[in-house]
Amino acid sequence: MVCKLCGPKLSLCGLVLSVWGVIQLTLMGVFYHIRAVALLEDLPLEEGHHDIDHFIANVEYGYTTNAQNCWIAALLYLVTLVVSGHQFWMNNRSSVSM
């Protein structure tokens, strides 16, 4: 069996954080995907456009990459969720057996 890496408190903290992270980042990814205007200010845009078409293309690209980035982060949190969930389970089991 895999050894215990973290204590009960840290694993619980990781569990809560990763559940939150998965939910929020997945939703944010969806919102970026449907081009939510509220998230426009958080896009990585180049400075100084003079051409509206260029600007729109830039924004479109930003929305797509940010959606992907959010989902990547959500996936990472899913991994964290599995790890901390396992740790939490290990901690609980060991405390019961004691």
Partner 1 sequence: MGSLFRSEEMTLCQLFLQSEAAYACVSELGELGLVQFRDLNPDVNAFQRKFVNEVRRCDEMERKLRYLEKEIRKDGIPMLEIPGECPEAPQPREMIDLEATFEKLENELREVNQNAEALKRNYLELTELKHILRKTQVFFDEHEGGANITTESMTRALISDDPNNHMGQVQLGYRDKQESLEFLPCFVAGVILRERIPAFERMLWRACRGNVFLRQAEIDTPLEDPSSSDQVYKSVFIIFFQGDQLKTRVKKICEGFRATLYPCPEAPADRREMAMGVMTRIEDLNTVLGQTQDHRHRVLVAAAKNIRNWFVKVRKIKAIYHTLNLFNLDVTQKCLIAECWVPALDMETIQLALRRGTERSGSSVPPILNRMETLEDPPTYNRNNKFTIAFQNLIYAYGVATYREVNPAPYTIITFPFLFAVMFGDLGHGALMAIFGFWMCYKEKPLQAKKIDSEIWNIFFGGRYIILLMGLFSMYTGLIYNDIFSKSLNIFGSSWRNNYNISTLETNKLLQLNPDSWDYLQAPYPFGIDPVWQLAEANKIIFMNAYKMKISIIIGVFHMLFGVCMSLWNHLYFKRRISIYVEFIPQIIFLTVLFFYMVLLMFMKWTFYGATIDHFGSQEPDIVKSSGFCAPSILITFINMMLFKTDENPRTQCDPTMYPGQIGLQKFFVLVALVCVPVMLFGKPYFIMQERKKRALQGLQPLAENAENGTAGGAPVPTSHHQDEEISEVFIHQAIHTIEYVLGSISHTASYLRLWALSLAHAQLAEVAWNMLLRKGLKSAGYEGGVFLYVVFAGWAAISVSILVLMEGLSAFLHTLRLHWVEFQSKFYAGEGYLFQPFSFEVILDSAGQAEE
Residues that bind partner 1 (CB under 8 A): 17, 20-21, 24-25, 36-44, 50, 52, 65-66, 68-73, 76-77
Nearer to partner 1, 54 or 93 (CB): 54
Nearer to partner 1, 36 or 57 (CB): 36
Residue 61, number of CB atoms within 10 A of its CB:
14
